[in-house]
Amino acid sequence: MTQVIGQALQRHEDIRLIRGQGQYTDDMKLPGMVYAHIVRSPYAHAKITAIDTSRAKKMPGVVAVFSGQDLKDEVGLIPTAWIPPDADMKVTPHPALAYDEVRYQGDGVAVVIAESPYLAQDAALAVDIKYEPLKVVTDPFEAKAEGAPGVHTEIPDNVAFHWQAGENLDDIFQKAEVVVKHHFRQQRLIPNAMEPRSALAQYNAAKGELTLWATTQNPHIHRLLMSGLLGIPEHKLRVIAIDVGGAFGSKIACYPDEVIVSWASKKLNRPVKWTETRQENFQVTTHGRDHVQEVELAGTRGGEIQAIRVKTYANMGAYLSTAAPGVPTILFGLIINGAYKIPHASSEVFGMLTHTTPVDAYRGAGRPEATFLVERMVDLYAQALQMDPLEVRQKNLIRHEDFPFTNAFGLQYDSGNYQETLSKALEIFDYPKFRREQENLRKQGKYIGVGLSTYVEMCGLGPSEVAGAVGFQGGLWESATVRVHPTGKVSVYTGASPHGQGEETTFAQIVSQELGIAVDDIEVIHGDTQQIAMGWGTYGSRTTAVGGAAIHMANEKVLEKARKIAAHKLEVNEEDVSYDSGTFSVRGLPSKSVTFQEVALDAYLAWSLPPGIEPALEGTAFYNPKNFTYPFGAHIAVVSVDPDTGDTTLLRYVAVDDVGRIINPMIVEGQIHGGLVQGIGQALWEGAEFDEQGQLITGSLLDYALPKARFFPKFETAHTETPSPHNPLGVKGVGETGAIASTPCIVNAVMDALKPFGIDDLSMPLTPPKVWQAIRQAQGKESLHS
Amino acid sequence: MYTAPFEYRRADTVDQAVKWLQDDPDNSKILAGGHSLLPLMKLVLAQPPVLIDIGRIQALKGVRSEGDHLEIGSYTTYQELVKSPEVDAFCPLLALSAKTVGDVQVRNRGTIGGSLCHADPQADMPAAMLALDATLVIEGPQGTRTEPYDGFLMAPFITNLGAGDILTGLRIPKLPQGAHCVYLKRPHPASGYPLVGLAIWMTFEGQRIGNCHVGVSGIADLPFRARHLEDFLKGRVLDDKTIKEAGPLAGDEASWEKDEYKENLLKVYVMRALSQLGELAAAKGQNAKS
Ligand SMILES: Cc1cc2nc3c(=O)[nH]c(=O)nc-3n(C[C@H](O)[C@H](O)[C@H](O)COP(=O)(O)OP(=O)(O)OC[C@H]3O[C@@H](n4cnc5c(N)ncnc54)[C@H](O)[C@@H]3O)c2cc1C
């Protein structure tokens, strides 16, 4: 059998995407289509005192202008679909268009619908709205203070939820030999997918059906939620998301804009399209991260970590976005011990409302925030002990024989050999040699540093029972149909919804390998609720671990039936038929054989099928995973810091990752590179900022520093492959690892470089002015101890 | 985002463009490469009712060598400057600067005239214009006139061009034989525009600095010529001591809001640019130091 799994096949989807032949939502044009432009609040917090649409309605080409009052009683509130249990959560009412109060800059207030997008925008300027500005709070910690401006009158203290996990650790901390305390600011990030969001709704009045093309990572979840809020039954609602140009979590949420065009299409009986501008993308598409964290670590003088606890103020923005509450709780609070065998841990999280853009999942979603704090704390602990951070890691990493390992919160880590990834990284990077060089260079006034990150993450979301237990308002299994056509060609229908990750290729590889047919004979179909029975979408690095596993099970059903048909044709017992590379043959009589294609044709002709076998050949499976999967690895970054300018230069980046079994090494490599770039971006360049009035001052690519390719050295990547026992393919997940591991790795490296100055922490991003000021202040305080 | 409605006209000659512009100066705007104007229009920060496209006017394009200077059409793109043999032979500092602007798409469309008239204090080209003593050729209601580039910028995004004026070209004196040039830029990590851009040319007389011009862009309120620094350098040996002492001088004559980091940055970049010049000179045996 030729090996297809494990081959670096080129991405099947790239040909159409590179040639501009993809089908993105904004590419769609329908007869009679009109265009929506949403009028947004320039204020972060204000009362709407008057809206006058009469001038706009008279503008050329304008079809309609609606305000929040028009929608208020006709569509439901934008939903929050993750309700962590026992967290006293209060769901913030989120109307599709604000009608009494606006709560962040960009909150929608009215919608203009016109014959062209240009006319819609022109008319939007003619919608007269009077606001009475109100006091603003943007910081999650300040939002908790007595007397802070309120975001929702229903929630006077701005605490949307208060979630806790773990035990009371006061005793342990009191008795501990060493306690390290630290505050971290996980700054807010703006996802910036290449394709901004877009939605096109077409209502068919004759049938009472609505079709919605939308940039979503999870069309079926959208259908479910939209059905509720629009009052259109699920079987009359179709959501389509064929090509989606990246998302990073920002296209999970159910957004007001999609609801507005859907409602308007029904109201006007015309197709209505809305496409976000890049500025709107900055302003209203969900942001990520934004925590204030108070962390404590207890350990022995010998370097053994005993306990870790965190109190986090997580900024949720002005409304609780669809999956948002699960991110700083379940996906963060339960894994703050990272890859270490820390017997005691506790997490406490306040979900804070502020007058800012709603925050939701962003590549890594919770796990980068957790990994950052534990990886940084390990370094600070090592420093407190005057011990090398590598040694502290080696002492505390979970050992191979500890698996399956259960952490202090009850998460069961599937499989791993953390020491092996670390050793492999140390084979690539000569650590003792680096330390010698570093010492020499310091004497010459040159500052280089090394950072480590020996991370683990939980992904492959996830078992549906757990989804229920943690308050996720959906299942997390996945569906697959493998449909063999009469000619033996195969269509694969997946409920996952890839949007750039390359599963049209990896899934075809799984089918090719398991059915023994050519990759080119397989088409993977996704992103259409009418073609695909059900699915939960693509996020949380779940697509291959859960969606891929479903395909594997569907393949098994196909083969089981095909084998029966082959045996019948070959006139032998089923047990006597072997299958290899697309051919069924009689054991011991290889010349007596029949191809997969012949079997497929027989199945459809049904002239002579074995008794009890139905015609046609396809398999459908619904796979519910046993548990999460836990990719891990060891990353090493080498930086130099220029004390003259504060510039950090990334000299080397070594990433050894174990993402379970690898289906397509090129795609895995691509995912790792992308993740690293985003994670390193957080450490060094990116950061959303609001001013005191709540205006987003990093609202464009002129101000918000998305990393460029030239900022990076060549990444040195390697792998170990520890199969996950939690799914039949042994895969874990790779979409988020880079973004999870790299941020603390870089900050650890910069802090290592700055050690001679006595600087042990700086907040991200580590911009040159910040680093330079810190060095200057340090030099002012004391002379160098080199 | 989309622009407000506007009327588009394409001029075939300078005269036609000038006439249209002078017909209704307050409502018309010249469109060159569009790489500054169109973004502003899309943000609805500019809403000119009439655009006059000068992109087809042959007379505004290209670089010619004329005696002691180069004659450069205002509609010459960055890329044409980078590729021009005349620029390479007589004013390589221009190409060194143009090469760092934006990306290849921007350099293929953006023009030198557009950049200068847009008057962004954070642009790259002003530094070289100042260092090279560029003269502007302007076509206006009173006919053709010339004026030095130094003084053209009144304030950020404001030049002394009249509403009916068109910039038609630049005159740039050829550099002295054997001049060494450096354009040292620190790009903003997001925008790529210079946080500081230093354009310097320098000649040597024996082992000492002969002439030297320094233009600074990006960092101060307006691009400026660092004349104190130039005066200090002339006649000195370009050694570590000179470089160290020269470092802070450009900052002393900058007009800006005090900011320790900026001051330091300019100092460090002046020193780095001078070191690079020192190396270039040393390669020619003109500077014993390196
Ligand atoms: C992505 C991007 C990156 C960029 N990066 C950089 C960078 O790194 N460094 C940098 O310096 N710049 C950068 N720019 C700006 C770029 O250099 C612009 O092209 C330039 O500033 C304007 O030239 P233009 O020909 O496009 O002019 P236009 O945009 O067409 O015009 C600009 C202004 O000048 C006026 N104008 C143009 N020509 C004339 C004329 N002949 N007479 C009178 N008025 C005239 C116009 O009316 C308008 O007001 C960047 C731009 C973009 C889009």
Distance CA A603, CA A617 (A): 6
Distance from CA of B98 to the nearest CA of A (A): 19
Given a cut of 80, is residue A785 above it in pLDDT? no
pLDDT value of position B1: 74
Work out the average pLDDT over B74-81.
98
- Cα B257 to chain centroid distance, Å, stands at 23
Strands A288-299 and A305-317 come out as antiparallel
**Would the CB of B117 count as within 6 Å of ligand 1?**
yes
Contacts of A703 in chain B (CB under 8 A): 190-191
Cβ neighbours of residue A696 closer than 8 Å, sequence gap 6 or more: A105, A106, A282, A283, A357, A688, A689, A690
Given a cut of 50, is residue A170 above it in pLDDT? yes
SS3 B28: strand
Given a cut of 60, is residue A784 above it in pLDDT? no
Structure token digits, residue A746? 């870089």
Point out which residues pair with B54 in neighbouring strands: none
Torsion of CA B96, B101, B104, B110, to 10 degrees: -110
- The residue extents of the domains of chain A are 14-134+195-245+251-284, 288-461+627-778, 477-623
Find where tokens 């299942």 sit.
Answer: A475
Query: How many CA atoms does the CB half-sphere of A450 hold within 13 Å?
Result: 21
Given a cut of 90, is residue A334 above it in pLDDT? yes
pLDDT band at A462 (very low <50, low <70, confident <90, very high): confident
Residue pair A187/A382 in contact by the 8 Å Cβ criterion = no
SS3 A216: coil
Same fold, A14-134+195-245+251-284 and A288-461+627-778: no
Residue pair A717/A658 in contact by the 8 Å Cβ criterion = no
Chain A residue at shortest CA distance from B265: A645
Q: B71 alpha carbon to ligand 1 midpoint, in Å? A: 20
Point out which residues pair with A405 in neighbouring strands: A413
Distance (Å) of CA A532 to CA A12, A478, A498: 20, 11, 14
SS3 A476: coil
Q: Note the pTM of the prediction, 2 decimals.
A: 0.96
SS3 A598: helix
SS3 B140: strand
What's the complex ipTM? 0.95
Nearest to B36 by CA among B28, B45, B27, B49: B45
pLDDT value of position A786: 40
CA angle A63, A65, A67 (to 5 degrees): 160
Q: B202 alpha carbon to ligand 1 midpoint, in Å? A: 28
**Would the CB of B72 count as within 6 Å of ligand 1?**
no
pLDDT digits (tens, 9 = 90+) for A669-711: 999 999 999 999 999 999 999 999 999 999 999 999 999 999 9
Q: Would the CB atoms of A706 and B4 count as touching at under 8 Å? A: no
Nearest to A736 by CA among A676, A658, A660, A664: A676
Average pLDDT, chain A: 97
Contacts of A125 in chain B (CB under 8 A): 44
Residue pair A78/A91 in contact by the 8 Å Cβ criterion = no
**Would the CB of B166 count as within 6 Å of ligand 1?**
yes
pLDDT value of position B287: 74
pLDDT band at B285 (very low <50, low <70, confident <90, very high): confident
Distance from CA of A704 to the nearest CA of B (A): 6
Q: Omega into A404 within 30° of 0, i.e. cis?
A: yes
CATH 3.90.1170.50 fits A14-134+195-245+251-284, yes or no: yes
Q: Would the CB atoms of B190 and A703 count as touching at under 8 Å? A: yes
Given a cut of 60, is residue B290 above it in pLDDT? no
pLDDT digits (tens, 9 = 90+) for A639-668: 999 999 999 999 999 999 999 999 999 999
Given a cut of 90, is residue A52 above it in pLDDT? yes
Find where tokens 């841990």 sit.
Answer: A345
Given a cut of 70, is residue B37 above it in pLDDT? yes
Residue type, B222: L
Which of B1, B191, B261 lies at the smallest CB-CB distance from A277? Answer: B1
Cβ neighbours of residue A45 closer than 8 Å, sequence gap 6 or more: A101, A102, A103, A104, A133, A134, A135, A136, A149, A151, A355, A694
Distance (Å) of CA A528 to CA A235, A275, A494, A536, A549: 13, 20, 10, 12, 20
Q: Return the number of CB contacts < 8 Å for A and B.
A: 41
For chain A, helix, strand, coil in percent to 5 are 30, 25, 40
Distance CA A469, CA A409 (A): 14
Structure token digits, residue A14? 């790239």
What domains are defined for chain B?
A: 7-53 (3.30.43.10), 63-173 (3.30.465.10), 180-283 (3.30.390.50)
Which of B5, B191, B261 lies at the smallest CB-CB distance from A772? Answer: B261
CATH topology assigned to domain A288-461+627-778: Aldehyde Oxidoreductase; domain 4 (3.30.365)
**Would the CB of B77 count as within 6 Å of ligand 1?**
no
Distance from CA of A382 to the nearest CA of B (A): 32
More confident residue, A780 or A598: A598
Class for domain A477-623, per CATH?
A: alpha beta
Could you give the maximum distance between any two Cα atoms of chain A, in Å? 92
A165: left (phi over 0), alpha (psi -120 to 50) or beta: beta
pLDDT value of position B2: 87
* % of chain A with per-residue pLDDT over 90: 98
Structure token digits, residue A240? 């389509």
pLDDT value of position A660: 97
Average pLDDT, chain B: 96
Nearest to B33 by CA among B122, B91, B107: B107
Distance from CA of A715 to the nearest CA of B (A): 20
